[in-house]
Amino acid sequence: MHAEYVIIGAGSAGCAIAYRLAEAGKKVIVVEYGGTDAGPFIQMPGALSYPMNMKRYDWGYESEPEPHLGGRRLVTPRGKVLGGSSSINGMVYVRGHARDFDHWAEMGAQGWAYADVLPYYKRMENWDDGGHGGDPSWRGKNGPLHVSRGKRDNPLVQAFVKAGAQAGYQTTDDYNGEKQEGFGPYDATIHKGERWSAYKAYLKPALKTGNVSVVRGLARKIVIEDGRATGVEVEHGGQTEVISAEAEVIVAASSINSPKLLMLSGIGPAAHLRDHNIDVIADRPGVGQNLQDHLELYIQQAAIRPVSLFKYWNLLGKAFVGAQWLFTRKGVGASNQFESAAFIRSKPGVEYPDIQYHFLPIAVRYDGQAAAEGHGFQAHVGPMRSKSRGSVTLNSADPAADPKIQFNYMSHPEDWEDFRTCIRLTREIFAQDAFTPYRGHEIQPGEHVQSDEELNAFIRDHAESAYHPCGTCRMGKADDPNAVVDPECRVIGIDALRVADSSIFPRITNGNLNAPSIMTGEKASDHILGKAPLPRENVGPWIAPDWRKTQR
């Protein structure tokens, strides 16, 4: 059991790395604990609430009781399947704002400014605008990752964008192009009516080259000899063996499992490792720290006309949607139903959007529970750049034990103000004329919830994770004591070891994290292969000319 490169994790970044290394003729073994992505619940976009709640596909993690959310434990789904979280996510495709990456570079991740990463986004994309306009010069057309748009034929989906314009906000044809700010259509990793995961885009074709093989098993630790990573200890089929890596070991196991694995291998905060009787090989205090996520609320409104997807929310309706999708790959089941987006600024003086909307033409929760009210619609809304930080630490030195996940959500006072702003701005959007033909009463929070105290109580009881954890193996300058990897994704202080996934993000990006995670794998693969990075593209994003004085 040996290869030139051993990659831990067949998720968004790991699959992309395997593909690019295979393309370069390298021999690769990918270690993945989860199994096949076969089965209709993963493949059918409309069934997205199922796989993330299925033990077969999900690690089943949850946070510690969150002190600022009334002691609630929040579920933290992570993909335990080929494709990782790209096989169980909501399929929403958001690059992030150009300024996010410029900020990374300012934080010490040199070579990761937007001008540096844009060419990688283009390289990975196979973008189909579906005849909806968009920004072709900013997009890629020949990459492995299919990105498309839904039909947008539900009147509520269109009403949301019209309402945004009526409220005085910008509209945008392509938030992944020059102009993120505004209301417009969502992009999704859906191709021909099916989920297009990182497994389908990257790993499946890589396996066909004969250069890549997948070993199913639990990575217990990285084997390090004389300061150099030489292999991975893997438990599979009831046995433990070492898979040796002639060139490098690459950890791409998620922002939860990557820091766990580093700590089990002796890389992390020395005192914490000693507490668990783990020999310290490299004292890196940043391992497991800097944990960030997006929290969101569902603002739900009843509909007075039967225009929502609630008409399918019964046995017969679900059977019809399922059968139509099964035989034609069309209809309601062929969309994730997140077809209208918005990125707005919360107040004057904010340079670029810090609030994201996912609009949904039904009132329903991620766990698949529909509102008892019947027909309705909702906006998922939350602040993009919370100042709260948490951590991933070890509960035990047993590799099979879950790590301890503490997000510390809402621990910064500004988060409360930001969330109240989100609720009030959403109410204003739902109050516009575009929604008048459909608008009933407010289901959640409910019209009676108005004061700061009432809104705070609602936030505390109802805020949910958007499932965007990142930041736990932060990238930075090699002499930064809290950085874990350098700008080439190399673990500082250990040879032949890299981390490449959302754990290396210095700060969370604007929007969903799947696209930047895949981009990280794409860019890391060039560093691993010692290639010159793709030429920079110096294009500036659209920034509201009056951002210092106006909110919209």
Active site residues: 468
> Is 191 buried (19+), middle (13-18) or exposed (0-12) by CB count in 10 A?
middle
Q: How far is 340 from 405, CA to CA, in rounded Å?
A: 32
Q: How far is 150 from 160, CA to CA, in rounded Å?
A: 15
Question: At CA 481, angle to CA 477 and CA 484, rounded to 5?
Answer: 65
Closest C-alpha among 278, 301, 268, 270 to residue 445: 301
Helix (H), strand (E) counts: the chain? 13, 25
In 167-314, which ranges are continuous DSSP H helix?
198, 204-208, 254-264, 270-275
Tokens 């370069």 belong to 24
What Cα–Cα distance (Å) separates residue 330 from each residue in 37, 199, 314, 319, 333? 20, 22, 19, 14, 7
Q: Residue 412: which residues within 8 A CB-CB, separation 6 or more?
A: 386, 387, 388
Q: How far is 99 from 118, CA to CA, in rounded Å?
A: 12
> Is 236 buried (19+), middle (13-18) or exposed (0-12) by CB count in 10 A?
middle
Q: Residue 65: which residues within 8 A CB-CB, separation 6 or more?
A: 71, 72, 73
Closest C-alpha among 17, 198, 14, 204 to residue 91: 198
Q: How far is 502 from 471, CA to CA, in rounded Å?
A: 7
Q: Residue 235: enclosing H or E segment and its boundaries?
A: strand 228-236
Q: Are the beta carbons of 30 and 215 closer than 8 angstroms?
A: yes
AA identity, residue 81: V
Q: How far is 489 from 474, CA to CA, in rounded Å?
A: 9
Q: How far is 207 from 285, CA to CA, in rounded Å?
A: 37
Closest C-alpha among 193, 157, 132 to residue 331: 193
> Is 162 buried (19+), middle (13-18) or exposed (0-12) by CB count in 10 A?
middle
